[in-house]
Amino acid sequence: MTASALKSCLLAARPKTLPAAIVPVWVGCVLAWKLGGVFHAALAFATVAGAVAIQIATNFFNDAIDAQKGADTERRLGPVRVTASGMMRPRVVMTLAAVFLLLALVCGVFLYHARGWPIVVIGIPSLFLAYGYTGGPFPLAYRGMGELFVILFFGLIAVTGTVFIQTGNCPSAAVLLGFQIGLLSAVLISINNLRDREEDSTTGKRTLAVRFGRNVAVAVIILEIGIAVLVGVGWIWLGNASWIYAGIPALLIGIRIIHGVLTLPPGPVYNRLLALGGVQMILFAAAFHAIALIFP
């Protein structure tokens, strides 16, 4: 593979989106260790590898399908897309997506042998929606369901699934943590859709930002950040009050993101807000992990 082809593959994989796949597994493993005193390294590796493979496959499918639908035009404000720009052929991008889905399936088989049929229940929809997010008869991203998809699959299912894989159980704490992570992940989609609202409105991509306008899109971002922090109060009722403080870094970064979407017109500067969204997730996870180590 030439350096140019490798660069194109890396661009299509969108490494800046990978915290959305890694963070849920990270915090899920921390929660499982804290509550159950267990950590299975092989299961953790297979879980994060599968999650990252599904994320990359989703990104490849998104790149190719959006180009085929005419959604990535010269008006695009985000990073260059390899299919629309002609850097890679659609068939090659789709093939690479399928390869990463196959890698995810291999990880899933390993996890199935460890935990049984629940892995099938989690895995099959996750594998299908890597394509169905932008492709198929009901593409979620084109129906204004991107945020809901992320909250469900990159939050609730990812975190509760990780805890189940580690412990064989799914405590209510995993649901709360999954909801927090899902909301923080959805911030990334919401910023992206707000940035691309004008272009999407001309290409049939009916995101929430397109359907309801800029003000509602900004309000959604504010709610996602605010609720993710506020529901941390639930840790008091679950007997782990110290984990409330994991929301402090997310809130501080969130204030900067909120200020940006309130004061800045959509443009390339929103790419920096997206990067801040990734940092927000990582700092939340780091704080959550640190608190688990420090407090009994």
Express the helix, strand and coil content of the chain in percent, nearest 5 each: 80, 0, 20
Q: Does the residue 211 lie in any domain?
A: yes
The pLDDT tens digits of the residues spanning 211-262 come to: 999 999 999 999 999 999 999 999 999 999 999 999 999 999 999 999 999 9
Residue 154 lies in a domain: yes
Write down the pTM of the prediction. 0.93
pLDDT at 139: 86
* Residue 267: predicted pLDDT: 84
Q: Indicate if the alpha-carbon torsion angle 41, 158, 48, 104 is positive or negative.
A: positive
* Secondary structure class of 166 (helix, strand, coil): helix
Q: Does residue 27 belong to any structural domain of this protein?
A: yes
- Closest Cα to residue 110, out of 61, 43, 190? 43
DSSP 267: S
pLDDT for 144-187, tens place per residue? Answer: 899 999 999 999 999 999 999 999 999 999 999 999 999 999 99
Average pLDDT over residues 95-114: 95
- CATH number, domain with residue 216: 1.10.600
Residue 2 lies in a domain: no
In a domain, 6, yes or no: no
State residue 82's pLDDT score.
78
On whether the CB atoms of residues 175 and 237 are closer than 8 A, the answer is no
Q: What is the DSSP letter of 117?
A: T
Q: What is the pLDDT of residues 51-103, one digit of tens each?
A: 999 999 999 998 888 888 766 555 556 677 778 777 888 898 899 999 999 99
pLDDT in tens, 267-280: 888 999 999 999 99
Residue 243: Cβ-neighbour burial (10 angstroms; 0-12, 13-18, 19+): buried
pLDDT at 72: 58
Looking at the structure of the chain, the number of domains it has is 1
Helix axes 172-195, 247-263, angle to 10 degrees: 20
Range of the domain at 19: 15-294
- Whole-Å CA distances, 71 to 64, 199, 279: 10, 8, 27
Cβ atoms within 10 Å, residue 265? 9
253 close to 184: Cβ distance less than 8 angstroms: no
Q: Is 1 inside any structural domain? A: no
pLDDT value of residue 160: 97
Question: Burial, 42: exposed, middle or buried (Cβ in 10 Å; 0-12, 13-18, 19+)?
Answer: exposed
Tell whether 8 is covered by a domain: no
Q: What are 207's two structure tokens? A: 């995101």
Domain assignment present for 3: no
pLDDT at 122 over 70: yes
Question: Which are the contacts of 87, defined by CB distance < 8 A and separation ≥ 6?
Answer: 8, 11, 80
